[in-house]
């Protein structure tokens, strides 16, 4: 018999707030966390705004770990600590406790890159080499957050890193659930982190034509499924959940937020940065998650869409949703309309919002929706939250490179 996997802890750091409740409250209110960039001078860029994490300080760590704490891992530590605290994890067998993190390689600041080049040009290679900080060669890696979290929480079980762009944390959670199902761990700390509001990323995504350029109205720039959408908005942050086998959770008397019912992942095999017009990979991912959960499309009460606010992605995802649900108008909303696109962290954060929707009986809206698009003919829960009984929710995450991940989460029933 397949082991059931339940969600017992939630934690996040986002542009809407540095914990779950503030993030949830902001998403439900449709509050925009998008504003002009403060981290660097963006006056010369085509896009001059983003969704930054503000007023955040990570938990203080023992010095042997503090030295390895960069901004991205700092988001992860804060979100993971909240999730572990929320789960009330006491004594857990270290060998049965694992970590699964979705993360990308850190991107260097352009000014820092230029300074290094000048060092090599002026001082010579040997002198410049001696001036480099060896910690940077660890903290820039994708696996660094997972390694740090395993040390902090004495998690000696499976340690996984997934790096599939925007799909990373959705797949990290799905893979963690599979670890528990097959009996390789009883508890998994799973999620993702990213820090994108940097010069190189704003420049790069701008060159790709993927970013909104609504500089005169940044707070309303992320408008998924709206006909006037013109690109996504860079965000940053982290989201983590504690997953446990049902038996382990019940044995320790844990509060159960929800049950992770199913997981599907696929590849578009189309183009590197484009989504197929028919949404084939997204459709496959959703169908796999439903099949894994033993559910039918009619069982789903809400879909938290990937909904990036780009012309192509939103139309492709809409086609996939229509293909899966047919004529049924299942409520679909994109919370990226409030907090921007957290890339490697978005799947886990949006899973947390699905869990809160189940608990609160409330669907967060798609903010800034004003102009219906015939190519995205969905019930997008426009502009205002909606009271609804949610027993089953899907959350989608689709990444650059063509990766897709869908998680199915439901109300826990003994």
Pairing, β 49-50 against β 187-195:
unpaired
User: Residue 396 carries which DSSP code?
Assistant: E
Instruction: Find how far residue 133's CA is from the centre of its chain.
Output: 30
* Residues 6 or more apart whose Cβ sits within 8 Å of residue 250: none
Measured CA to CA, the distance from residue 195 to residue 234 in angstroms comes to 9
How many Å is the Cα radius of gyration of the chain? Answer: 20
In the structure encoding, which two tokens stand for residue 382, read together? Answer: 């426009």
Catalytic residue among 144, 248, 257, 306: 306
The verdict on whether 368 is a catalytic residue reads no
Measured CA to CA, the distance from residue 110 to residue 88 in angstroms comes to 42
Measured CA to CA, the distance from residue 71 to residue 53 in angstroms comes to 10
The verdict on whether 248 is a catalytic residue reads no
Catalytic residue among 12, 166, 346, 376: 166
Catalytic residue among 144, 257, 341, 368: 341
* Torsion, Cα of 76, 81, 87, 91 (10° steps): 120
Answer yes or no: are the C-beta atoms of 189 and 148 closer than 8 Å: no
Measured CA to CA, the distance from residue 414 to residue 368 in angstroms comes to 39
The CA–CA distances, whole Å, from 269 to 214, 274, 281, 291 equal: 31, 10, 8, 22
Pairing, β 403-410 against β 392-398:
antiparallel
In the structure encoding, which two tokens stand for residue 357, read together? Answer: 């929707």
Strand partners, 265: 405
The verdict on whether 166 is a catalytic residue reads yes
- The residues annotated as belonging to the active site are 166, 306, 341
């Amino acid at each position: 018999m397949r082991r059931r996997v339940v969600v017992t802890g939630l934690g996040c750091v986002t542009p809407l707030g540095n914990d779950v409740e503030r993030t949830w409250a902001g998403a439900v209110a449709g509050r925009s966390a998008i504003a002009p960039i403060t981290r660097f001078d963006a006056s010369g860029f085509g896009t001059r705004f983003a969704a930054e994490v503000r007023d955040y300080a990570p938990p203080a760590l023992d010095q042997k770990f503090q030295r390895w704490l960069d901004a991205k891992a700092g988001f992860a530590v804060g979100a993971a600590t909240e999730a572990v605290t929320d789960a009330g994890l006491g004594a857990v067998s270290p060998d049965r406790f694992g970590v699964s993190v979705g993360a990308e390689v850190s991107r260097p600041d352009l000014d820092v890159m230029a300074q290094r080049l000048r060092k090599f040009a002026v001082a010579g290679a040997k002198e410049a080499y001696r001036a480099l900080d060896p910690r940077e060669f660890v903290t820039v890696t994708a696996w660094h957050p997972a390694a740090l979290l395993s040390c902090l929480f004495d998690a000696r079980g499976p340690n996984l890193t997934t790096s599939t762009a925007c799909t990373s944390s959705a797949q990290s959670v799905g893979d963690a659930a599979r670890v528990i199902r097959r009996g390789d761990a009883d508890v998994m700390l799973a999620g993702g982190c990213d820090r994108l509001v940097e010069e190189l990323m704003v420049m790069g995504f701008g060159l790709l034509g993927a970013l909104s350029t609504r500089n005169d109205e940044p707070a309303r720039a992320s408008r998924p499924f709206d006909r006037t959408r013109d690109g996504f908005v860079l965000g940053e942050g982290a989201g983590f959940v504690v997953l446990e086998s049902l038996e382990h959770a019940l044995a320790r008397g844990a509060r159960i937020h929800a049950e992770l019912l199913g997981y599907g992942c696929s590849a578009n095999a189309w183009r590197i940065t484009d989504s197929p017009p028919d949404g084939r990979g997204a459709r496959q991912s959703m169908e796999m998650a439903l099949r894994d959960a033993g559910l039918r499309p009619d069982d789903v009460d809400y879909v938290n869409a990937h909904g990036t606010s780009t012309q192509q992605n939103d139309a492709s995802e809409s086609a996939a949703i229509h293909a899966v649900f047919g004529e049924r108008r299942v409520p679909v909303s994109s919370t990226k309309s409030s907090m921007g696109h957290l890339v490697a962290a978005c799947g886990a954060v949006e899973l947390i919002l699905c869990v809160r929707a189940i608990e609160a009986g409330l669907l967060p809206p798609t903010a800034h929706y004003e102009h219906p698009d015939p190519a995205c003919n969905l019930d997008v829960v426009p502009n205002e939250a909606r009271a609804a009984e949610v027993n089953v929710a899907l959350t989608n995450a689709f990444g650059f490179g063509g990766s897709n991940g869908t998680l199915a989460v439901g109300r826990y029933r003994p």
